[in-house]
A and B are shown apart, each in its own frame.
Chain A
Amino acid sequence: MSSVLEKVKFDPEGFLVDPMTWTREIGEAIAKREGMQLNARHWVVINFAREYFTQNGESPTPRNITKNTDVTTKELYELFPGGPAKLAAKLAGLHKPTGCI
């Protein structure tokens, strides 16, 4: 399992350096490293995050996610405990969300 992660580069906080090197397999492996088991609802968020990144060049905020998917904020926090925007971005191979000023 660790082999897919060895082929790509991560920053010191565990975010993928180049989002274009991400694959679903890498997403699964990052989840495992974070101690998470991904289900279909996680993938709704991760797929949206990838799509959002392709269109906007940045990671989505929690509001972007809940406004454009059927995942509610409450569910989002249950799926990605701690910081959903940060964790979802990490699993989707995106950069750490800036999201603030």
Chain B
Amino acid sequence: MKTFLILGAGTAGTLMAHTMTKKLDPHDWQVIVVDRDEKHYYQAGYIFIPFGMYKPESVIKDKKSFLPKKVKVIWSDIHMIEPDKNQVTLVRDKQVIHYDELVVATGVDIRPDQTEGMLGGGWQKNIFDFYTFDGSVKLAQALKDFKGGNLVINVTEMPVKCPVAPLEFVFLADWYLRKRGLRAKTELIYSTPLPDAFTKPSANAKLSDMFRKRDIHLEAEYAIGSVDAARNMISSYDGREIAYDLLVTVPTNMGIEAIERSGIGDDLNYIQVDKGTLQSRRWPNVWAVGDTNNILASKAGSVAHFQHEVVAKNILDHIAGKSLEEQFDGHSLCFIESGYGKAVLIDFNYDQEPVEGTYPLPGLGPFRLLNETYLNHWGKLVFKEMYWAMMYGIKVPLPSKMSTAGKKISSHNRQGEAA
């Protein structure tokens, strides 16, 4: 009996478990899944919790209800991953698992400890994150209590999960404060290490316009150096100080510490893989899917979904001793909530920047790309149900390769450098 080991039962790990139990012969293979947490969190829903748009409990389900019955599930933290020995040691009972194929889908964690002073006196008092369940729930209370002043959103360091989420936060905050009559008393400041609001130049023209209309101040190329909780002040390495009354941080995102302990990742504990096949550059029977790999695609659920189909095919080819044919194209599909009941939809890949046009979705779409519409917002809400369906192993109509049909493409949107 051979072992197919999946570390992590989040979006990517759960999808892999479904696909591999269907594709692998159960007489030859046992699929084992390891995760530290029995609860599955719909992370794309965190953005709505601070504004009271989602009830916290609506984003949680039991992981066990998603995973196929044939899968052996072990609840434990991971101690060591040793690809040279084809083995993984768990924290629980120091159990050692020998594997034939390994999929690492352990995602990324926020690391506020990586910024000087972030965890000082202000943490969860007037400094909050919304990338964790706990953080988003506590931020909801802080926003309820907010009376006006400087509301600062800071992106610490790229890459971060769902790179559009900080933008959504600032748009939704603008709407929320306006509804509560606090917008005139609030300065909204968006600070980012990027030279512009977003990573994709073609989307920036649209987004800059949205910032201007909402009177949001953009502090670009801002690399945060430290937080001074006594003075309620952040400062950048080049000496720019920004005062805050409420600081919403997107901390450094890093892979799990077991990857660092095992010495198998890069400087952010991401697993280095080939950007097309998603196979480890160092060990041919190791694969990394979703947020935990180092490829220059967005770290997002839609991307994990697109990747998993490619990886599943490549693993089967690898097991059969064939060369790897499937190539991931960097496809990302993101809704950007813009407030006022609207959202923007963007669809792009390694080579193609987000453009205007339409995105087809049988029964729902077409959605208008790169434009604020009510239907896009509705689409984002419907996506939650599609997400749960995917986690139950139900196929959804989201092809992994980006299609150019319906998109208004001109030669200058084909990107050279901007990844």
Q: How many A-B contacts at CB < 8 Å in the complex?
A: 48
Contact partner of B296 among A62, A74, A98, CB < 8 A? A98
Residue of A nearest to B155 (CB): A100
Contact partner of A64 among B194, B267, B296, B332, CB < 8 A? B267
Residue of A nearest to B221 (CB): A83
Q: Does A82 contact B (CB under 8 A)?
A: yes
Min CB distance A57 to B, Å, is 11
A99 near B237: Cβ-Cβ < 8 Å: no
What chain B residues lie within 8 Å of A9 (beta carbons)? Answer: none
Residue of B nearest to A15 (CB): B417
Residue of B nearest to A61 (CB): B267
What chain B residues lie within 8 Å of A74 (beta carbons)? Answer: 225, 237
A62 near B238: Cβ-Cβ < 8 Å: no
Min CB distance B304 to A, Å, is 14
B267 near A98: Cβ-Cβ < 8 Å: no
Number of interface residues of A (CB under 8 A): 19
> When chains A and B are docked, how far (Å) is the Cα of A35 from the Cα of B195?
22
Q: Does B326 contact A (CB under 8 A)?
A: no
Q: Does A96 contact B (CB under 8 A)?
A: yes
Q: Does B199 contact A (CB under 8 A)?
A: yes
What chain A residues lie within 8 Å of B417 (beta carbons)? Answer: 95-96, 98
Within 8 A of A (CB), among B259-314: 266-268, 296-299
Classify chain B: how many residues form its interface, as a range. Answer: 20 to 34
> When chains A and B are docked, how far (Å) is the Cα of A31 from the Cα of B127?
40
A100 near B267: Cβ-Cβ < 8 Å: no
Q: Does B223 contact A (CB under 8 A)?
A: yes
What chain A residues lie within 8 Å of B223 (beta carbons)? Answer: 62, 73, 77
Within 8 A of B (CB), among A49-95: 61-64, 67-68, 73-74, 76-77, 81-83, 95
Q: Does B159 contact A (CB under 8 A)?
A: yes
Q: Does B361 contact A (CB under 8 A)?
A: no
What chain B residues lie within 8 Å of A67 (beta carbons)? Answer: 267
Residue of B nearest to A66 (CB): B267
A100 near B237: Cβ-Cβ < 8 Å: no
Within 8 A of A (CB), among B120-173: 157-159, 163
Q: Name the residue in A62, A76, A82, A100 with the highest tally of chain B Cβ atoms < 10 Å from its Cβ.
A: A100
Q: Does B59 contact A (CB under 8 A)?
A: no
> When chains A and B are docked, how far (Å) is the Cα of A74 from the Cα of B419?
27
B267 near A101: Cβ-Cβ < 8 Å: no
What chain B residues lie within 8 Å of A101 (beta carbons)? Answer: 158-159, 163, 199, 296-299, 332, 419
B199 near A100: Cβ-Cβ < 8 Å: yes
> When chains A and B are docked, how far (Å) is the Cα of A55 from the Cα of B223?
26
Contact partner of B194 among A73, A76, A77, A100, CB < 8 A? A100
What chain A residues lie within 8 Å of B299 (beta carbons)? Answer: 101
B237 near A98: Cβ-Cβ < 8 Å: no
> When chains A and B are docked, how far (Å) is the Cα of A96 from the Cα of B419?
11
What chain A residues lie within 8 Å of B296 (beta carbons)? Answer: 98, 100-101
Which residue numbers of B lie inside 8 Å of A, CB to CB? 157-159, 163, 194-195, 199, 221, 223, 225, 237-238, 266-268, 296-299, 332, 417-419
List 26 interface pairs A-B (beta carbons < 8 Å), by A numbering: A61-B267, A63-B157, A64-B266, A67-B267, A68-B267, A73-B237, A77-B223, A77-B237, A77-B238, A81-B238, A82-B221, A83-B221, A96-B417, A98-B296, A98-B417, A98-B418, A100-B163, A100-B194, A100-B419, A101-B158, A101-B159, A101-B199, A101-B296, A101-B297, A101-B298, A101-B332
